[in-house]
Structure formats: structure tokens, C-alpha cells
Amino acid sequence: MKEKLVSKFEELYGNNGKINTYFAPGRVNLIGEHTDYNGGHVFPCALTMGTYAVARKREDNKLRFYSINFEKLGVLESNIDELKYNKNEDWINYPKGMIWSMKDEGYKINTGFDILFYGTIPNGAGLSSSASIEVLTGFVIKDLFDLDIDMTKLALLGQKAENKYVGVNCGIMDQFAIANGKKNYAIFLDTSDLKYEYAPVELDGIKVVIMNTNKKRGLGDSKYNERRSECEEALSELKEKLKINSLGELTEQEFEENKYLIKSEIRQKRAKHAVYENQRTIKAVEALKNNDINLLGKLMIDSHNSLKDDYEVTGVELDTIVEESLKQEGTIGARMTGAGFGGCAVSLVKANKVDDFIKNVGENYKNKIGYEASFYAVEIGNGPIKI
């Protein structure tokens, strides 16, 4: 892979100077959805699918970007002094946003660079292809300019790029999971203070299967920001009586006793999801530690139902694929993953049933929805590396 990418880089940009190659993963969230901007817990892991970059420093201020995934767009040029969001520039807003974010925090990026990307994560599918590019760009810059930045800071800079440059009010989960990924471990992260612990995912005889509905979603055009404001409003209503900083501080019982403070039924449902999903995530990690896989599976199913009925971020494609997967012998649990509104679902499936699972769910999904789904039996991988 490395040779192929470097040779494409040389073909585009010439072969002089020191050329470096890097990789950053994508991520899948096992449970804890739409909790990261509510001060709750999440439980994602990095994947071995991800984004590669080949890069070389320049002597002037020019930036040149190219992606093998978007060949038709060709090489796009910019400048380290002209970093402004441009809708027509498509995917380049992610690396540019990251450069902007780092410069804005005072990191010395004093020349431009040439960069080539190649991603193996499906785009817009809820596996964080954009956060992967952001964190990867930060990792490349850290190396090229010899900057002292730890991985959590890199994640925060990526989130800032997404919030302030791209305009999506996302939480910290994606960038954090990518920056701090560890092979065969999921990350149990408390988003209220960024304390985290690695939990081994030793699923004897069980595979993590990602199911892509192939219904594309763009976070920007989705109802993501709207859900976030609904939760913020519900929190401020609860604060009239409760001394809390986030919905993640409440237990189910505290929520039930105080939900009358939230004046709209919709906001009550949104807040209920945030509170219950956070508690489910804590229970799920406990279940995994106790090797209680069936309880973990049940919590995943409850999570999906809550995202469907209370948070209303699923849609017919995600509901169908989860429903069909739960009909299969050998399925332990399944739920949508990521922001929702399309994209991917994640399931735990007995390893010896994976082939039947993919065949049956694939056929039934196509019959009901009219187009094909894609399936990936995935491995949990490491965070960013220089290769």
C-alpha cells in the first residue's frame, strides 16, 4: 500500500525532498450515542479501516491537496494564510479546518505542504471518515513541524475544526476515539472530564459486523445540530430546580422525578434518551467486563430503540437493517452507530454464523429497501501511526 501511495504522490508532486507516510483509523461506537455533547459516556473503538496520507513540507506557503477517493477533483491548491470554509471545496474543508484550528491555537506552521490522502472507510457512513482526516492532518503536521501536542489535544483541535470551521456542532467522541485508538480495546470515555479507560473487547467466537445501509447522510444537513439544541434547552429547564451541569449527571430515577420541568414532550423524549443511554453505556461496559455478552446485546437493542423512538434519528433504512439482523440466529445485539439518519449499524454476531448473517440480512434488506447494503466484519485497531 505504502509504495503505491508514494508513487502516486511522486507522480503528482515530483520525487524530491523527504516524503512521509501516515495512517489514522476510522471508528465505530459500540454504545453511547448522542451522549458526548450531553456530558455522558461513550464506548467507541478505532478500526483497522482508515485514512492514509503521504506528505512533504514545502518552502513556500502553498498547500496542495489530492485524494485518490476523489480523483475527478484533481489537485486542489490553497495557502496557509487563506484558510476559509468553502462549501464548494468539498472534503478539503476537513484538512484545511484542521490547519486553521492548529494555527488559531498558536501552533507554528510556517510553511505549506503537499499532501495526498487515500481512505478505506466509506464516506458519510457514520464511521468518521471526516474525523479521521482531521486527526490524521493534525498528526502529519505534528510530525512535519515537530510540534509538541498530545493525542487528546489533537482530538480537541479536530473537534474545534469541525465545530468552528466546518460548522457541525459535534461532540468529542469521534476525534478522541481515533486519536487514542488501541488494538483490541474499546475506549470507555467520560465526556464530562475526558477521563477514560481502555476495556478489552475479547469476544470469544463473536465478530463485530458493521452494516452499511448505503443511505448517505451529511452531518451538516442533518438534524444533528437541532438535537443538540433540544438537549441544551431541556437541560436549562431542569436547571431551574436541579444543580447539574449536564444531562449525563442524572440517573434514570432522578430524570423521572424531575422530567415535569421540561415543558415540551419532544424535549422530554430527547433528554430521556440522553440520560438512559448514558446509564446503558455504563451498564454495557460492566457487562463486557463480566463477560455477560447477552446483557451487552440487550443493551445495544435498547439503545437502538431509544434512538428510534425517543431521539428519532434512525429512519427506515437503519430500522430495517437492525430489525433484519435481529431475526438471524447468531445475532447477539445490533444498533445504529454514529449520528444516525442513514449510515451504519453495528452488530455482534457469532463468528460461525457471519456468512449466513450477511447473506440473509443483505437479501432481506435489498428486498425491502430496493438497494444493497454493505457489510464489514471488522477488527479493532490502533490510533494514528507513521508508516
Hey, which residues are catalytic here?
174
Residues 239-278 as x/- pattern, contact with ligand GLA by CB under 6 A: ----------------------------------------
Strand, helix or coil for residue 376:
strand
Stretch of residues binding ligand GLA (CB under 6 A), selected from 2-10, 31-39, 88-96, 182-190? 31-39
Inter-residue contact 132 to 155 (CB < 8 Å): no
Q: Is 384 in the site for ligand GLA (CB under 6 A)?
A: no
Instruction: Give the shortest CB-323-to-ligand GLA separation in angstroms.
Output: 21
The grid coordinates listed for 148 are 509538541
Residues 130-169 as x/- pattern, contact with ligand GLA by CB under 6 A: ----------------------------------------
Residues 6+ apart with CB under 8 A from 29: 42, 43, 44, 173, 177, 337, 338, 346
Helix 293-309 vs helix 316-326: crossing angle, to nearest 10? 150
Could you say which residues in the range 172-191 bind ligand GLA, by CB under 6 A? Answer: 173-174
Longest dimension (CA), the chain: 67
Q: Is 170 in the site for ligand GLA (CB under 6 A)?
A: yes
- Residue positions counted in the chain: 387
Contacting ligand GLA (CB under 6 A), which of 9, 23, 34, 296?
Answer: 34
Q: Burial of 167 by CB count in 10 Å (0-12 exposed, 13-18 middle, 19+ buried)? A: middle
Contacting ligand GLA (CB under 6 A), which of 39, 50, 171, 381?
Answer: 171
Stretch of residues binding ligand GLA (CB under 6 A), selected from 28-36, 260-268, 293-301, 323-331? 28-36
Comparing C-alpha atoms, which of 44, 67, 185 is closest to residue 127? 44
Q: What contacts 24+ positions apart, CB below 8 Å, involve 77-81?
A: 79/112, 80/109, 80/111, 80/112
Q: What is the C-alpha separation between 3 and 36, in angstroms, rounded? A: 38
Q: What is the C-alpha separation between 137 and 122, in angstroms, rounded? A: 18
Residues 320-339 as x/- pattern, contact with ligand GLA by CB under 6 A: ------------------xx
The grid coordinates listed for 256 are 423521572
Q: Nearer Cβ to ligand GLA, position 148 or 221? A: 221
Number of residues that bind ligand GLA (CB under 6 A): 10
Contacting ligand GLA (CB under 6 A), which of 5, 28, 36, 47?
Answer: 36
Instruction: Give the shortest CB-191-to-ligand GLA separation in angstroms.
Output: 9
Q: Is 310 in the site for ligand GLA (CB under 6 A)?
A: no
Q: Nearer Cβ to ligand GLA, position 56 or 269? A: 269
Inter-residue contact 347 to 358 (CB < 8 Å): no
Instruction: Give the shortest CB-338-to-ligand GLA separation in angstroms.
Output: 5
Distance of CA 6 to the CA centre of its chain: 27
Instruction: Give the shortest CB-37-to-ligand GLA separation in angstroms.
Output: 6
> Where along the sequence are the contacts to ligand GLA (CB under 6 A)?
33-34, 36-37, 170-171, 173-174, 338-339
